[in-house]
Structure 1
Amino acid sequence: MKKNLLSGLVIIAMLIFSLQPVIAGESVLDEILAAGVIKVSTDANYAPQSFLNDKGELEGFDISVAKEIAKRLGVKAEFITPDWDLITAGKWGKRWDISVGSMTPTKERKNALLFTIPYYSSPAQFAVHSKNTTIKTVDDLADKVIGVASETTNERFLQQDLEIEDTKITYLAWKPKDGNMKTYPTDANHIEDLSLGDGARLDAVFTSRQTLAQSIKAGCGSGCPIKMLGDPMYYEPLSVALDKSRANSESLISKLNEIIDSMYADGTLVKLSMQFYETDLIPKR
């Protein structure tokens, strides 16, 4: 009995010893470093944050940030473009490792996702058709049809249930009436509908100021007769997101924060902001 017990203990000890490298390599960071690739989810139709250029390649502020993160990790960036609601829902099943898609770390999203420190901030802005002469202030939108991307902070703002830590939110004196808030898969879709004509499908849209500026500059493909309305409603911090359901992500969060800090320190984030937005959207640290 004692001999069998001793033999059993030796076998168990050998198994534990043999498993140590596997156990040590189970962190998400180690998995990414071992693969030599970090899989990044983003939006393929969200200029100037992320979009397909004339060569069919992803380009934009978020794309450049993701590539720089990969470079400083010593790996390659591989991009995946799932629907936004799939990204914000979490439980990614290792289909991608991180999301670099201008995501705000809301209280609701933190139930499913982990977030890094912000890498920039974004002003939320209304816009109307350029030929409109009756909508002069945001209060004039109270009974109008407004387009907004679904599952976004902008949609939550209009619904008046947006919560962002360390960000003061002052809501409008009104909420869109039933049926007056039309949701779209992405911002480019509602901007296109607004450009079709004043009141043709929409009276206004609500998105980021830089998205509107890029659309106006680029012409929405074939002319973009829209104009911004009033001042930004709020400024939101934007972070890299990770899947909360994926175990052992702590070391990756720490490493990403270290990398983002270094991009603040050496001016990389400001440089990219000026390149794609022609303005400095980087918070002071």
Structure 2
Amino acid sequence: MQSRWSRLVLAVFMIFAWTGVSGAAQTVLEEILAKGELVVSTDANYAPQSYLNDKGELEGFDVEVAKEVGRRLGVKVRFVTPDWDLITAGKWGKRWDLSVGSMTPTKERKQVLLFTMPYYSSPAQFAVHKDNTAIKTLEDLEGKTIGVAGETTNERYLQRNLEIEDVQVVFPTWEPGEIRTYPTDANAIEDLALGDGVRLDAVFTSRQTLAEAIRAGCGSGCPIKMLGDPPYYEPLCFALDKSRPNQETFLAKLNEIIRSMYDDGTLVNLSMKYFHTDLIPKL
């Protein structure tokens, strides 16, 4: 009788032990596949990467890339649009699974985030009001007020503390008079469009963002023009929350999907569609 009871107790213990180990060992990829949904954070005001169309739906390069990732995973994609500083701060608490938002893998961000291989690259670009005749070179930005989105690589560049893995960043020899930060690049561009020196003397963002603003007509015809050559190019990656455990297989799967999108031309086609140029780095 005692032996039989001992075997029963042992069997129950083994069931609970197996269940506990099984639950603890579930990976992020398994969670997403079981749920059938991938929650992606992105920006709702960052055309042409991501923006709200006339129907109030998210559209853009990053949005289509994220949807394609979901398709290749076999799950639906749900988008959320938290503030950029919340995304880059990490510790997401499972509010979203992945950031597809044109993020550069800086040394600072790598302390709290994991990054995939790059899925495209971005040239940084200055612009001034089209009526400006005094600022002809980047050196002429000495002492000027420059608008930039806060908590971005562009702000870090102006502050001379930008570090990007495998990218040699050469900082400017000149000093801005004021670095004025904005919630988004679009807000900075809107202020520059108000007039030459009215609020800003220049903006610093990505070339494709400026090209889209000029094409779409920010404000009244978007009276801005690009200035000089891009001071640097930056690799852009998906980001994951480093504080969330068991992400290894998810990260590996994302890299596999990105590589397949390179190989079959999907990323190049989307780059041409939204940027009108090939911004996809060669592997």
CA distance in 2, matches of 1:122, 1:41: 19
Deviations 1:128-158 (A, max 9, x none): 0000000000111010000000000000000
Aligned residues: 282
**AA partner of residue 206 (structure 2):** S
What displacement does 1:2 show?
7.9
What displacement does 1:19 show?
3.5
Report SS of the residue matched to 2:225. Answer: strand
Q: Is the 8 A contact 2:61 2:270 kept in 1?
A: yes
Q: Is the 8 A contact 2:194 2:219 kept in 1?
A: no
Q: Is the 8 A contact 1:137 1:229 kept in 2?
A: yes
TM-score normalised over the length of structure 2: 0.96
CA distance in 1, matches of 2:33, 2:185: 34
Alignment of 1:212-227 (within 5 A): 212-227=210-225
Report SS of the residue matched to 1:127. Answer: strand
Residue 264 (structure 2) aligned to one of 253, 263, 266: 266
TM-score normalised over the length of structure 1: 0.96
Residue equivalent to 1:22: 23
Deviations 1:213-244 (A, max 9, x none): 00000001532000000000100000000000
Alignment of 1:21-170 (within 5 A): 21-24=22-25, 26-170=26-170
Aligned structure 1 segments of 4 or more residues deviating by more than 3 angstroms: 1-10, 18-21
What displacement does 1:182 show?
0.2
Report SS of the residue matched to 2:95. Answer: coil
Report SS of the residue matched to 2:99. Answer: strand
CA distance in 2, matches of 1:17, 1:239: 37
CA distance in 2, matches of 1:162, 1:207: 14
> Unpaired segments of 5 or more residues in structure 2?
none
CA distance in 1, matches of 2:104, 2:58: 21
Alignment of 1:227-238 (within 5 A): 227-238=225-236
Q: Is the 8 A contact 1:159 1:175 kept in 2?
A: no
Distance 1:172 1:258, change over 3 A: same
CA distance in 1, matches of 2:216, 2:233: 24
Report SS of the residue matched to 2:54. Answer: coil
What displacement does 1:7 show?
5.3
What displacement does 1:15 show?
1.0
Report SS of the residue matched to 1:175. Answer: coil
Q: Is the 8 A contact 2:193 2:219 kept in 1?
A: no
CA distance in 2, matches of 1:231, 1:99: 29
Identical residues among aligned pairs (%): 68
